[in-house]
Structure 1
Amino acid sequence: MTDSKPPILARPWRSRVPNEIALRITALRETFEEAGCLFARHKDNGEIFDQNSMSGHVMSDFRAQVQGDPQRFIEVFKELNCYPDVVSLVEWSDWLTPSEGRRRFDTLFFVICRDEPPVVSHDEQETVQDSSFTSNEFINKRNAGDVMLPPPQLYEMLRINRFPSFEYFRYFLFQRARNYPTRRWLPVPLRCSDGLLSILPGDCLYPHALTDHECDDHDDTKDKLLAELTEEWKNKTIADHIFETKDVNCLYWLSKDKCEGAGHWLHVMCLATDVFPGEGHLMPIMNK
């Protein structure tokens, strides 16, 4: 495995804790605050902490303390004689909001695997409902308009949808993490008269040199319709890794194959079947 790291892990912070550990602790804290899940291990034997072994009242009190003061998070583990389960959080992907966005986020996605469903409860602030679905069920609900998934979450859900079983997914997850670094993705927008195309790394149209503050917008596409431009690219067989958005709730994935959802054609443009996103990852797959 190379030593290459995404900027969010490589940049210096005013902390003695390595970035890889600090960001995992932050992810665990936010999960506890917003979803009520405490991922921990016992200090004495390293076994997974069973949240069901504690009364709901005690855990709710701990959660309220952390919501009031994030510094209390580590104190919770001390009182439980546990430590944060940072070793189980596995890097999955990293997405940076395009520079034209009103608010930008550099988001590192982690995955944690458990054989049993965790204890979940919404906080009526950041989260308002808790439900459990498979990736395919989630995508179907999104296509039916029941839930909204921003492009990165939809892309990753479609990628997870490739795996036929939890065991296969877990094996792939750890093998990829051991052998490949995570690379940050910065989508490059192409505005059309009726929507937006986002070019992703690996596409032949993706800029070779791109800074965090460049959107590299193409003026020659602004007066064209999405359908006109995508048809033009299909004929030239040049588009490899692009998705198309007509509105916030409607994402079109461009490929030879077509899937219908939410009254729209999910039709994308992966014309080059040998295009892979790199870092040992897999391309997304449409609904099964």
Structure 2
Amino acid sequence: MSLHRVVVLLVGPVVAYDAVIPSQVLGLASGTDGRPLYDVRLASVGGQAVSTVHGYDLGSHGDQRLIDDADLVIVPGTHHPGIRREGHLPDDLRSALARRLPAARLASICTGAFVLAAAGILDGRAATTHWNFAGDFRRLFPKVALDPRVLYVDDGDVCTSAGLSAGIDLCLHLIRSEHGAQVANHVARHLVVPPWRDGGQAQFIDIPLPEKSGQSTSDVRAWASTHLAERITLQNLAGRARMSVRTFNRRFRAETGMTPGAWLTQQRTRAAQRMLETTDLSIEEVAVRAGFGTAASLRTHLRRSAGVSPATYRGTFRTAN
């Protein structure tokens, strides 16, 4: 298995947290032989240390020539005034990005999307950035189909993510896409973070926190996640939580940002994906064990979530492994 060469292009003042996410996440991924799957390098124009928004400088491994043979170039968040306020990309940065190989992927974390947009790379594409800067982004880059609600957007050869921890989600997504769920899950366990948050999940939940009554839906959710193959109704879940349906539904939405039905479908879809990735069970059996009942129902939900059929999804991850 070939080593993926990743270059993190630092644009000062850089958000240091964003800048080290690829090294922390991708750097932990290893194959069955224990060998690393990614070689992550930090680069800057001219190879000099780059100032951070936190008052210290961040060193680099080299200059823009590191991009020449990179498989993936990631741009972390930046407070560069010309880019963030005017949408103007300096010529040296434009030239640096132009050095990438035709087959190389591009990605951004948080306001790194401003850099890609200023280069014209995101014109006509779906993308995201931190919700707090969506207004400025739309003003500067009206040609980009911005969706500030989601955690990350995978648009094939270009991926963008929201702020801070969404960069971790994106990197785990990249590992999952390229090397399968088992490798990504191993990295997530080491980082003590959720192994997978769907890219379409909301960046934030603008609803009140649940009342401090001592009651929670967490135990019921834990039970449901291990009984997905069974018929589960809202009344059944509320009864287990010893709440009325109305109270349970309100509290469930406050704690998860989703309706019980949407959450259950999400869990079943993820369970089906894990089985498709890691087992040889037939698609019909996967559908039954995940709680969808029929292969047709599984196909409908997986197409809605991942955009592909179960067979295509399985083939993609088998090829990646």
TM-score using structure 1 length: 0.33
Greater share of strand: 1
Structure with bigger helix share is 2
TM-score, normalising length: structure 2: 0.30
Structure with the greater relative contact order (CA < 8 A, sep ≥ 6): 1 or 2?
1
